[in-house]
Structure 1
């Protein structure tokens, strides 16, 4: 056996979609991006979606959209990928790391409340592995203190929480289409909102300061010869090169069609893991998985002999990982860290196991059997 940890599920449909973009000779920011944005907004029930080249870009632009004063603070979980907190630094803001709930590993709301100060302007809940943060509790508290909420949905696409899509509870939701995620565009991301006014400058911010959709509304254009001024544009905001392109969007449109089936398969696999490992006393599920209710990008376990078990699994051809080393102990963030005692210790037990839609039942049974055979 040689079982990959993550693997994108791509087929002939994606190849044909890319071929069509080639034949149209339009592979940059174009109509397919617009189509994908419209389809995604409809899929999650948001009023507006904007495609970008990564979830990292989405998080950066989401915070930038609020134009917070430099030096203000943002509450962020320690247990997340570096991009979540890096986006705070990109905006010259200060991260305030929040410990994890011992059961769900999502943001500990009580620790979040303890670490609030008057300098805090926003909070970034991360739906870790795909398990929802209790947004029905977080949102009223954030509203009470006037905080903006940016949801990091890199680990979930298509999940409903209490009847509402994750990513649409906060002011802005950010999704990832990187190759290991629930669906992929190779690299890519999407940001959504139900307050379109928030995004009035974001299309320009994602494309070097130029809003390609709105440049023809400029007064200098409409008052003059349209044909002669087809080149006209204005720069009103500082922009970045964060746009999605039509190649990625063409793949994304096909992946979106497949997403419900891929999510269903992932849920089946997680249930097989849960059933197969439930009586192994030395390992426990990473979090309280509810595969019938939510969509998970990762499945993992907690094990006291984490390193030894990972080496054993590797010797049997099973790839594993650890998601993540808490940011509050990383050198980059050290000056704001070492303040999340639970997760800084508990993360040493985490093992991420293979999970992707193309895992076979035989492979899952093999993984479960190897874990059960280890001498704990």
Structure 2
């Protein structure tokens, strides 16, 4: 049996939505993007949303929106994808890495407090794997220490904590709709903010700094009674980026958003089955303290095994045609951040135990059982020879 690691759940509804965009013959930044932005803002109960071409773009613009002074330091967990840290570097700011909690793998808030200095201005809080950071405590720390909070929600679209959507606790929230995430637009992302002014601050930045995008110029020209011969006019006041979402992606997103609760619920059911299968397997334990019924939205399911056995287990699963990965090697171990090596010892130790296993909404119960059986066969509990 072949079991993929990730697989987007798309079908005829998405094809019909794309066909509709083709029929209208407006494929770029247009009315579908505006509709998706409004639908997403309503879904997470945020006052403003901005559709972009990736969560990386959303993170970059989120830091840009804060307009932090030169020399500012931004706290980022080392156990995350590189985009979380690049958001600070893109803005010419300094990254300070925070270690992870050994049980949840989320940023260790005690370690975070120890790393705050007078130059610290912001925190990028990553809901790693979909398990939420302790946002009530983080927001208390941020309020007390004068920090802005950006939530990196690339792993948890649709997730909630204490009934409140993740991405709306902090000042800004950034979501990913990349092919493998909780929902997809092929590639894409969304930025939301509690203060609409923060979104408006960077709206031109997603379109090369242009103050009026092509769709707005077109609708101004075609509106009933419009007779302005200068409908084409626009101005560029600052250097922006080609970060816009397009109508093809947004059309897919509008369909996927309707499916998101069901897809997240299916992942929760699959995780529950995984947990049952692992319950009596010595030497193997879940990667995160998964709570399938807590309203969280999980992107990955993984396990921890003895560090010396991890690669052997991965090889055995590969031989059984089960795809795996490791999320992530801590950022402090990458050449770009070599100066920070050793700064986060818990993350730099634990990642050697981590294996990401298949998880996607169209996965069958039989496939979960097959993966669990393959893990048992791997003898993951055996001590290294």
Q: TM-score range by the shorter chain?
A: over 0.9
Q: CA deviation at 1:215?
A: 7.4
**Paired position in structure 1 for 2:277:** 276
Matched, 1:227 2:228: yes
Comparing 23-32 and 204-213, the one that deviates more: 204-213
Q: CA deviation at 1:226?
A: 5.1
Q: Deviations over 1:198-257 (max 9, x none)?
A: 1222110100011336978xxxxxxxx952110121222321000000000000000001
**Paired position in structure 1 for 2:23:** 23
Comparing 324-333 and 196-205, the one that deviates more: 196-205
User: 2:322, 2:33 → 1: CA distance?
Assistant: 37
User: 1:2, 1:263 → 2: CA distance?
Assistant: 23
**Paired position in structure 1 for 2:331:** 327
Q: Deviations over 1:325-353 (max 9, x none)?
A: 00011110112342000110110000000
Q: CA deviation at 1:18?
A: 0.6
Contact 2:28 2:246 in 1 (8 A): yes
**Paired position in structure 1 for 2:322:** 318
Q: Deviations over 1:157-213 (max 9, x none)?
A: 111101211000000000000000000000000010120111222110100011336
Contact 1:215 1:233 in 2 (8 A): no
Q: CA deviation at 1:276?
A: 0.5
User: 1:373, 1:228 → 2: CA distance?
Assistant: 73
User: 1:115, 1:98 → 2: CA distance?
Assistant: 8
**Paired position in structure 1 for 2:139:** 139
Q: Deviations over 1:120-143 (max 9, x none)?
A: 110011000000000000001111
Contact 2:212 2:235 in 1 (8 A): no
Contact 1:57 1:242 in 2 (8 A): yes
Structure-2 change in CA distance of 1:65 and 1:226 (3 Å) = farther
Q: Deviations over 1:290-317 (max 9, x none)?
A: 0111110000000011111000000000
Contact 1:215 1:234 in 2 (8 A): no
**Paired position in structure 2 for 1:237:** 238
**Paired position in structure 2 for 1:346:** 350
Any idea what SS the aligned residue of 1:124 has? strand
- Unaligned segments of structure 2, at least 5 residues: 218-225
**Paired position in structure 2 for 1:221:** none
For 1:298, which of 276, 297, 300 is the aligned residue? 300
Contact 1:209 1:237 in 2 (8 A): yes
Contact 2:191 2:199 in 1 (8 A): no
For 2:375, which of 367, 371, 374 is the aligned residue? 371
User: 1:119, 1:201 → 2: CA distance?
Assistant: 23
**TM-score (normalised: structure 1):** 0.96
User: 2:51, 2:90 → 1: CA distance?
Assistant: 19
**Paired position in structure 2 for 1:222:** none
User: 1:229, 1:68 → 2: CA distance?
Assistant: 36
User: 1:71, 1:27 → 2: CA distance?
Assistant: 41
Q: CA deviation at 1:70?
A: 2.4
Q: Equivalent residues in 2 for 1:82-161 (5 A)?
A: 82-161=82-161
**Paired position in structure 1 for 2:261:** 260
Aligned residues: 368
User: 1:194, 1:238 → 2: CA distance?
Assistant: 25
Q: CA deviation at 1:144?
A: 1.3
**Paired position in structure 1 for 2:210:** 210
Comparing 330-339 and 172-181, the one that deviates more: 330-339
For 1:361, which of 359, 365, 368 is the aligned residue? 365
Any idea what SS the aligned residue of 1:84 has? helix
**Paired position in structure 1 for 2:14:** 14
**Paired position in structure 1 for 2:223:** none
Structure-2 change in CA distance of 1:330 and 1:16 (3 Å) = same
Q: CA deviation at 1:286?
A: 0.4
Contact 1:95 1:336 in 2 (8 A): no
Contact 1:206 1:241 in 2 (8 A): yes
Q: Deviations over 1:253-311 (max 9, x none)?
A: 00001111111110000000000001111101001000111110000000011111000
Any idea what SS the aligned residue of 1:280 has? coil
